[in-house]
Chains A and B, each alone.
Chain A
Amino acid sequence: QKEVEQDPGPLSVPEGAIVSLNCTYSNSAFQYFMWYRQYSRKGPELLMYTYSSGNKEDGRFTAQVDKSSKYISLFIRDSQPSDSATYLCAMSETSGTYKYIFGTGTRLKVLA
């Protein structure tokens, strides 16, 4: 079993929809959670960074962490065709660590 599981998709939604992207994990020691957006043939771009449980909002993006369920989510409101990309989750146990565990990514398509 992988430490981090992420549905590969593709997930297709109409423009304007609310998108929910999710990752589950098995290591209860993870405390830092990140979401990256990766366009085709580009490097991953850090979107959201959260510590421990709770929600964090940045514009149309909301990151949610539920440590009791070992489950994290990224919500995208009013989705746009420009949001079409692969979204990667990543986690680490402590600050100052080299060890980040990545999900394999969910491919999102927002249809105009």
Chain B
Amino acid sequence: DAGITQSPRHKVTETGTPVTLRCHQTENHRYMYWYRQDPGHGLRLIHYSYGVKDTDKGEVSDGYSVSRSKTEDFLLTLESATSSQTSVYFCAISGASGVTNEQFFGPGTRLTVL
């Protein structure tokens, strides 16, 4: 394992509630990413971070925000969850070895929005 954990691993919530997912890494990777994975769509980038407090949007960022106050933690927040955000969310990291293209994934968070 590349030293990535995600919490919670499973969550069921109701439409309109805020949700925060956490990604924690122990490998000192510079880059961190949040993806969602849905049948027929594969992995789609939500947001990414290229350093502490440096973040930017991916291709499906609407309805999501992120924060990175420490190298090891990257938070994904759904401000007001909708049923379309039911998905499996993966955190990924890259950059510790200097070969930034090798990207390692966490175990995933399965989110259900009712």
List the interface of chain A (C-beta within 8 A of B): 32, 34, 36, 41-46, 49, 88, 90, 92, 95-100, 102-105
Contacts and interface: CB of A to CB of B under 8 A. Distances in A.
Nearest to A105: B42
Contacts of B90: 43-44
Q: Which 9 A-B pairs have the closest CB atoms?
A: A43-B105, A104-B42, A102-B43, A32-B101, A98-B48, A96-B100, A44-B105, A102-B42, A43-B107
Contacts of B56: 98
Nearest to B9: A41
30 contacts: A32-B101, A34-B101, A34-B102, A41-B108, A41-B110, A43-B4, A43-B105, A43-B106, A43-B107, A44-B43, A44-B105, A46-B104, A49-B99, A49-B101, A88-B42, A88-B43, A90-B103, A95-B99, A95-B100, A95-B101, A98-B31, A98-B33, A98-B56, A100-B101, A100-B103, A102-B42, A102-B43, A104-B40, A104-B42, A105-B42
